[in-house]
Amino acid sequence: MKVCFLMISKGWGGGENVVHQMLSCLIDNGIDVFLITNNEMKPYFEDLNLEIIDLGSLYDSGSLTRMIFNTNKVSITSESRPIKALNMLLMYIYFHRVKGKIRKLLEDRQVDILHTHLEYSDIMGLSLFLGNNKSFNGKKKIKWIVNIHGPWFSLFYDEHEFPGAFNSIFQMLLQKIFHTADKVVFVSKYLYDQVKICFPSEDWNNKGLVIHNGLDLSKAENLPDYRVKKGFNMLFPGGPKLIKGGDILIEAVNEVVNRDLDINLYIALDVPKDHVIRCMVRNYQLENRVTFVGFLKSEDYLSLLSQMDVLISPSRFEAFGMIYLEAMSFGIPVIASNVGGVAEIVKNKRNGLLVSPNPKSVAEAIFAMYNDPNMRKKMSKNNLEDIINFSWNKIIRNYLQVYQDLKS
């Protein structure tokens, strides 16, 4: 069986992490798989033993324009400079310009299944298959699986880089994608239910299914040392993404520090110096309480996580949340927003505390965790037990079954 993963993204995040772990598991299970991705994402996957097809720098408007006029030459830039709406239009044009080349590549590799991840990849998949019943030059039919990892642009979540006026375009595209794809996989029941409300159809009975994300539990072994401060340590992995609630968290930290709690907050991912979160830290004079660790390699991030007392993420929206699985694998209690599909992973007062995404609720949860070590110990034990249900060794079997069913 030959499988092609197609993923286009502007940076590392939960969905990208899932794709990386899924690819690793498929390789371990003997699946012949390769990846088509943009140059911005290529470095994150070079540690895997698979072929990577580089589409070039797709999050740079100048680079995209050059490739539209010359599809035979991949354009690569050291720094992406997308012009939001313009870049989306250019990418759409580029997909139509390059679809013949990609079709030939899939045909030459005798691909059985195309598996797309994230919005632009789904749009590219649509440009490849729309109107030709997924057969190229009269040859065998390729099956198409769409993986919905979270909000699709501004659909299913109100705050996004694109204004709500684009929603009608996104809805039209997504409806065509759902109609054309052979299977649509959702990472949470919540997300699946939202889509069925927006796009009611009898086809969902045969086409849609929920497969929760998994976690490679072996990654928790043989980690490097990562020094942390004394006191009560918390990790926020959301960096500059306000959808993850970093601004809410800083407000909450300011409140609990004023109650004389000895806490330290670590913030992962690169946060620009002029970002609102850094400004809030300076304004509240929390520099000695908040540490920006930047983007960490997987093993360094997991090493830091393993030494935390709590993982905290007051997200405004979360379709699933790999960060919670990672915390559970180390027995780390979680403070998370009760939004989206989070409750399908984190059970309130069993694995952590579920709160409303506002500073007061988050501060109260921090205070409760800080003052009750017995509760943290109980949650830690529960997490180490419950994480087994999310092992990739179990989850990947669901994908392998979908592949086999489609091929046969």
Residues 339 and 250 grouped into a single domain: yes
Instruction: Check whether residue 199 and residue 267 sit in a common domain.
Output: no
Distance CA 224, CA 347 (A): 30
Q: In this predicted structure, what is the pLDDT of residue 88?
A: 80
- Beta sheet of 52-54, edge-to-edge order: 52-54, 32-37, 2-7, 113-117, 143-148, 183-186, 208-210
8 and 157 co-located in one domain: yes
How far apart (Å, rounded) are the C-alpha atoms in residues 316 and 340? Answer: 9
Considering all CA atoms of the chain, what is the largest pairwise distance in Å, rounded to the nearest integer? 71
Q: Do residue 222 and residue 149 come from a single domain? A: no
* Tokens coding 222: 């043989």
Output the domain CATH number for residue 172.
3.40.50.2000
CA atoms of 198 and 48, how far apart (whole Å): 37
Note whether 207 and 66 are same-domain residues: yes
Residue type, 323: I
Strand ranges for 135-280 from DSSP E: 143-148, 183-186, 208-210, 232-236, 263-268
Q: Tell me the whole-structure pTM to 2 decimals.
A: 0.84
The answer on 295 and 192 residing in a single domain is no
Number of domains observed in the structure of the chain: 2
151 and 195 fall within a common domain: yes
Q: Which residue has the tokens 């309480």?
A: 289
Which SS3 state, helix, strand or coil, does residue 114 take? strand
Sheet holding 334-337, edge to edge: 290-294, 263-268, 232-236, 310-313, 334-337, 352-355
Length of the chain: 408
Each residue's pLDDT expressed in tens, for the chain with a length of 408 residues: 999 999 999 888 888 989 999 999 999 999 999 999 999 999 999 999 999 999 988 888 888 888 888 888 888 876 666 666 787 888 889 898 899 899 999 999 999 999 999 999 999 999 998 766 566 655 668 999 999 998 887 665 554 444 455 678 888 899 999 999 999 999 999 999 989 988 898 889 899 999 999 998 887 777 888 889 999 999 999 999 998 999 999 999 999 999 989 999 999 999 999 999 999 999 999 999 999 999 998 889 999 999 999 999 999 988 888 899 999 999 999 999 999 899 999 999 999 999 999 999 999 999 999 999 999 999 999 999 999 999 999 999 999 999 999 998
For residue 59, what is the DSSP state?
Answer: T
> Cα(14)–Cα(325) distance, rounded to whole angstroms?
11
How much is the pLDDT for 102?
93
Two tokens, residue 127? 């440009």
164: how many CB neighbours lie within 10 A of its CB? 12
Cβ neighbours of residue 36 closer than 8 Å, sequence gap 6 or more = 4, 5, 6, 7, 52, 53, 55, 102, 105
* Structure-token match 């705050």, residue found: 159
Q: Do 302 and 197 belong together in one domain? A: no
Tell me, yes or no, whether 159 and 26 share the same domain: yes
User: Do 119 and 259 fall within a single domain?
Assistant: no
pLDDT at 198: 86
Same domain, 280 and 326: yes
**C-beta neighbour count of 228 within 10 angstroms:** 16
Q: Residue 323 has what pLDDT?
A: 94
Q: Are residues 163 and 17 in the same domain?
A: yes
CA atoms in the 13 A half-sphere facing the CB of 181:
29
d(CA 60, CA 75): 10
Instruction: Give the tokens for residue 238.
Output: 């959301």
Residue ranges with strand state E in 85-134: 113-117
Full residue range of the structural domain in which residue 359 is found? 218-389
Residue with tokens 């935390």: 308
How is residue 18 written in tokens?
């899932």
What gap in Å lies between CA 53 and CA 359, rounded to an integer?
Answer: 44
DSSP string covering 156-187: TSS-SSS-GGGHHHHHHHHHHHHHH-SEEEES
Pairing of strands 290-294, 263-268: parallel
